[in-house]
């Protein structure tokens, strides 16, 4: 049996598992791994400016391609800076391998320099975490880590490697080693038949597309099922892009924040919901008794522990989403089930049009809604958008039209500020053929903004559109309506309306920046940015100054979403009448 270092074996396994890219930061505690990475020369490494940026970039890479993301960091604070990224990947079901260095085994548990027990720290936010104590275990741990990350509901795995374990020599033959197999669960045929019977008997059923459908690469089968059964489709926020927004069966998104009015209305009119690959998250359901009242649920999910966790379904089916949809399609064809569209279904495109929120505003300062009108009109269906928490994300979720899966990347469950820039960089590396656009708030951009250096250094052209209202605007809105205050949420310098000069910030890194203050200037600025990016292969940002006090439609339950813009228009009309 050939002998090699444990890290040579580890890198050989990474290559065999299909890893082409690693995002990370070398440090003293992980240098043997980096030495093997250098010797191999078969994996591209991108050095981040913060470990959180590295793991978010690996996350974006994984989401854009549907593969396992890989990141690496040294021990102590390097490893602990991965925690937020692991949490984000876990809650959004993203397969990830995080590799961390560690002090030597003899120093574990002795408060030695940079020797935090990261494997224990991250247990609640990973599918599995290892601190490898024997060099000979390294190949088996790495193989099992990839199996666990991919199997069932995908998620992150952390491998912590003490220095002396990394340096150890082992017997390992890559010629006879291979990936560990795993099985995707298939649905129970009787349950599939029961589901179709329930759908056929329902008066106003809806199909609910969750993020699990996109993860399973099953969007095409979902469209086929909806067309076969002529049932309206609603999506969760994580399912955005899984169903064409202009399809005659598309009603919209359901939620108390990232919603559409037609989506919520169609859901509330339903008597049966078939949810596939969804978690029934609180931002989706809102008040549960409103969400569940008057309707039954069929829940299909690959994770048995998701079924009944929040919603008690009439029928639960444990299955891979793609296999379940294929089984439903086959059973529908065999039974001859192919109903004609009901009047409710035929009316759906017009209902969607009538309930669409207004985007066409012309005033200055620019209304945030107008920015998204320009985005929808300018970019094509091949563009990948990346966004993160804030009113910018809620507006994006409500207004943006995404026509393809894996073309809208968002951190839905954790919502860490700063996720989107490194995730956009990772997505661009994964899909160099695609234009990648980050939609971000001004405060959110300040988190992980140091990763602009990574994009410039490696010539990764991503476009950042900053929706700049000088606020922690989601918190400002929460304070306004929940606490009747406006406290410590303004980040423009009071008295002078000074703000961070994002244009100079971009230029300092070697990127391009431009500020826009009029709605007619948005598209020309985008055109200039894209031309510059094509010429220089570097990122660009556009700082769009918008009206500061615009509120996003939201509420505590899906039947009580406040439409603040409509309220504002009505109040203005009343004021005008009183003045007249």
Which tens digits make up the pLDDT trace of 523-570?
Answer: 999 999 999 999 999 999 999 999 999 999 999 999 999 999 887 777
Please determine, for residue 309, whether its predicted confidence score (pLDDT) is greater than 90: yes
For 136-171, the pLDDT digits (tens) are: 999 999 999 999 999 999 999 999 999 999 999 999
Q: What percent of the chain has pLDDT over 70?
A: 99
Is 38 found in the same domain as 112? yes
pLDDT tens, residue by residue, 202-229: 999 999 999 999 999 999 999 999 999 9
CATH of the domain at 327: 3.40.50.1220
Q: Is residue 95 part of a domain?
A: yes
Number of domains in the chain: 3
Average pLDDT over residues 170-198: 95
- Domain span at residue 333 reads 189-354
C-alpha Rg value of the chain to the nearest Å: 25
Taking phi over 0 as left and psi of -120 to 50 as alpha, with beta for the rest, 230 belongs to left
CATH number for the domain harbouring residue 417: 3.40.50.970
Domain boundary residue among 321, 354, 387?
A: 354
Residue 262 is predicted with a pLDDT of 97
Does one domain contain both 373 and 321? no
**Is 35 exposed, middle or buried, given 0-12, 13-18 or 19+ CB atoms closer than 10 A?**
middle
Helix (H, G, I), strand (E, B) or coil at 198: helix
Q: How far apart are CA 562 and CA 265, in angstroms?
A: 14
Q: What pLDDT sits at residue 569?
A: 76
Q: Report the distance separating Cα 383 and Cα 403, nearest Å.
A: 10
The pLDDT tens digits for 23-51 are 999 999 999 999 999 999 999 999 999 99
pLDDT tens profile 226-277: 999 999 999 999 999 999 999 999 999 999 999 999 999 999 999 999 999 9
Residue 362, SS3 per DSSP: coil
For residue 454, the model assigns a pLDDT of 98
Assess whether 165 and 268 both reside in one domain.
no
**pLDDT reported for residue 496:** 63
Q: In this model, does residue 61 exceed pLDDT 90? A: yes
Whether 347 is in a domain gets the answer yes
pLDDT at 340: 87
Q: Judge whether 490 lies within some domain.
A: yes
pLDDT on residue 494 = 66
Residues 106, 59 share a domain:
yes
* Residue 384 and residue 266 in one domain: no
Q: Is 481 part of any domain?
A: yes
Same domain? 537 vs 393: yes
pLDDT of residue 194: 97
Q: What's the confidence (pLDDT) of residue 105? A: 83
Is 495 a residue whose pLDDT tops 80?
A: no
pLDDT of residue 205: 97
Report residue 580's pLDDT band, with 50, 70 and 90 as the boundaries: low
User: In the predicted model, is pLDDT for residue 341 greater than 90?
Assistant: no
Let me know whether 9 and 46 are in one domain. yes
Q: Which residues of 432-455 are buried (b: 16+ CB within 10 A; e: fewer)?
A: eeebbbbbbbbbbbbbbbbbbbbb
292 and 409 co-located in one domain:
no
CA distance linking residue 316 with residue 349, whole number of Å: 31
| pLDDT mean over 502-513 | 97
Place of tokens 């012309």: 362
The Cβ of residue 563 has, within 10 Å, a number of other Cβ atoms equal to 16
Tokens of 354: 């009538």
407 assigned to some structural domain: yes
pLDDT tens digit sequence for 88-128: 999 999 999 999 999 998 888 878 788 899 999 999 999 99
Residue 563 counted as domain residue: no
One domain for residues 390 and 508: yes
308, 335: one domain = yes
**Secondary structure of 73-130 as H, E, C letters:** ECCCHHHHCCHHHHHHHHHCCCCEEEEEEECCHHHCCCCCCCCCCHHHHCHHHCCEEE
Same domain, 335 and 372: no
Residue scoring higher pLDDT (441 or 572): 441
Instruction: Say if 43 falls within a structural domain.
Output: yes
The answer for residues whose C-beta is within 8 angstroms of residue 382's C-beta and 6 or more apart is 404, 407, 434, 435
Domain C-terminal end among 310, 332, 354: 354
How high does pLDDT run on average in the chain?
Answer: 95
Q: Decide which of 288, 323, 354 is a domain's last residue.
A: 354
Q: Has residue 566 been placed in a domain? A: no
Let me know whether 122 and 24 are in one domain: yes
CA distances from 543 to 232, 378, 463, 548 (A): 38, 17, 11, 14
- pLDDT above 90 for 14: yes
């Amino acid at each position: 049996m050939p002998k090699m270092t444990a890290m040579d074996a580890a890198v050989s396994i990474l290559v065999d598992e299909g890893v082409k890219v690693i995002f990370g930061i070398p440090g003293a505690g992980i240098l043997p791994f980096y030495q093997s990475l250098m010797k191999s020369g078969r994996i591209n490494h991108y050095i981040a400016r913060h470990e959180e940026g590295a793991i978010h970039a690996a996350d974006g890479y994984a989401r854009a391609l549907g593969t396992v993301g890989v990141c690496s960091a040294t021990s102590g604070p390097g490893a602990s800076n991965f925690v937020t990224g692991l949490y984000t990947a876990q809650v959004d079901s993203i397969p990830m391998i995080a590799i961390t260095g560690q002090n030597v085994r003899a120093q574990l548990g002795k408060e030695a320099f940079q020797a935090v027990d990261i494997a224990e720290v991250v247990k609640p936010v990973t599918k599995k975490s290892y601190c490898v104590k024997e060099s000979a275990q390294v190949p088996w741990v790495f193989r099992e880590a990839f199996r666990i990350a991919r199997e069932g509901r995908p998620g992150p795995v952390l491998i912590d490697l003490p220095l002396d374990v990394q340096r150890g020599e082992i017997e390992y033959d890559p010629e006879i080693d291979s990936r560990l197999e795993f099985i995707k669960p298939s649905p129970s045929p009787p349950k599939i038949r029961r589901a179709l019977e329930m759908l056929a008997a329902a008066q106003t059923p809806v199909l609910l597309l969750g993020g699990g459908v996109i993860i399973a690469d099953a969007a095409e089968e979902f469209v086929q099922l909806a067309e076969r059964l002529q049932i309206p489709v609603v999506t969760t926020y994580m399912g955005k892009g899984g169903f064409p927004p202009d399809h005659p069966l598309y009603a919209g998104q359901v939620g108390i924040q990232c919603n559409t009015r037609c989506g919520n209305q169609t859901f509330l009119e339903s008597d049966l919901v078939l949810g596939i690959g969804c978690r029934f998250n609180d931002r989706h359901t809102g008040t549960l008794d409103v969400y569940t009242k008057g309707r039954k649920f069929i829940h299909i999910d690959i994770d048995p522990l998701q079924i009944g966790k929040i919603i008690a379904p009439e029928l639960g089916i444990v299955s891979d989403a793609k296999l379940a949809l294929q089984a439903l399609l086959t059973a529908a064809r065999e039974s001859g089930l192919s109903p004609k569209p009901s009047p409710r279904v035929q009316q759906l495109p017009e209902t969607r049009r009538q309930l669409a929120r207004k985007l066409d505003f012309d005033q200055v300062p620019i209304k945030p809604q107008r920015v998204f009108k320009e985005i929808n009109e300018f970019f094509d269906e091949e563009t990948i958008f990346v966004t993160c928490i804030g009113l910018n994300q809620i507006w994006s979720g409500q207004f943006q039209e995404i026509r393809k899966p894996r073309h809208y990347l968002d951190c839905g469950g954790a919502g860490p500020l700063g996720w989107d820039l490194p995730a956009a960089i990772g997505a661009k590396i994964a899909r160099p053929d695609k234009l990648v656009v980050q939609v971000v708030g001004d405060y959110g951009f300040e988190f992980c903004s140091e990763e602009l250096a990574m994009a410039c250094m490696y010539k990764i052209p991503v476009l950042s559109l900053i929706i700049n209202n000088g606020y922690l605007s989601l918190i400002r809105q929460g304070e306004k309506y929940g606490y009747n205050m406006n406290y410590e949420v303004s980040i423009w310098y009071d008295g002078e309306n000074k703000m961070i000069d994002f244009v100079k910030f971009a230029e300092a890194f070697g990127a391009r920046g431009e500020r826009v203050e009029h709605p007619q200037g948005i598209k020309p600025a985008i055109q200039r940015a894209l031309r510059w990016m094509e010429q220089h292969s570097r990122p660009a940002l556009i700082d769009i100054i918008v009206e500061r006090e615009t509120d996003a439609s939201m509420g505590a339950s899906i039947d009580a979403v406040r439409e603040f813009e409509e309220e504002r228009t009505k109040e203005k009309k009343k004021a005008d009448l009183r003045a007249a």
